[in-house]
Amino acid sequence: MQKQFKLTQETYDSLKKELEYLKTVREKEVADQIKEARSFGDLSENSEYDEAKNEQGKLFSRMAEIENVLAGAVIIKEDEKASGVVSHGVRVIVQFEDDDETEEYVVVGSQEADPDGGKISDESPFGKALMGRRIGDEVIVDAPAGKLKYTIVDVIV
């Protein structure tokens, strides 16, 4: 069964654009690098050829990864975002227990996750704990450091 990847329309379009670039422009560039490296002679001691083949492997791997994600993509629709309820694509403002500081996150699918950029995966322990919750709810997250307690301050659609 194909794994599903929850994506925003923006990310889906970005991945399609990247795949198109890799298949048209980048694949030709790598093929040219391989062709040029072959012209240098003996392939057994040709580091340029080895590097070009490694680059080709990375390219094909990335293309396969993107194709897999696109094949299993489920687009998060705007009308699926319920007001006041944590769901995909919403901004969540949380406050850590006994702390005056708040933190803001966007709940996204695993392919879009960027914790340093404030995007948390719906599959992460924190993301799972937030899903379906409302403003004012307390959320307890099992972390390596122990149980962490947060309060949802706001949900912005």
More confident residue, 157 or 67: 67
Q: Is the pLDDT of residue 62 over 70?
A: yes
C-alpha torsion sign, points 31, 32, 36, 39: positive
Look up the pTM and report it.
0.68
What number is the average pLDDT over the span 53-80? 87
- Looking at the predicted structure, is the pLDDT value of residue 78 above 70? no
pLDDT over 70 percentage in the chain: 94
Contacts of 120 (CB under 8 A, 6+ apart): 105, 106, 107, 108, 113, 126, 127, 130
The hierarchical CATH code for the domain 79-156 is: 3.10.50.30
Mean of the per-residue pLDDT values of the chain: 86
Reference 90, options 52, 43, 135; nearest CA is: 135
Instruction: Please name the residue that has the structure tokens 């004012």.
Output: 136
Q: Does residue 46 register a pLDDT over 90?
A: no
Give dist(CA 64, CA 50) in Å, integer.
21
126: left (phi over 0), alpha (psi -120 to 50) or beta: alpha
- Domain borders along the chain are 5-75, 79-156
| pLDDT for residue 2 is more than 80 | no
Q: Is the pLDDT of residue 153 over 60?
A: yes
Q: Is the pLDDT of residue 43 over 80?
A: no
Q: Spelled out in words, what is the top-level CATH class assigned to the domain 5-75? A: mainly alpha
Residue 82 pLDDT level (bands cut at 50, 70, 90): low
Q: What is the pLDDT of residues 93-134, one digit of tens each?
A: 998 887 778 899 988 888 888 888 989 988 888 889 998 899
Segment 129-155 mean pLDDT: 88
Please give the pLDDT value at position 99: 79
Residue 79 has pLDDT above 60, yes or no: no
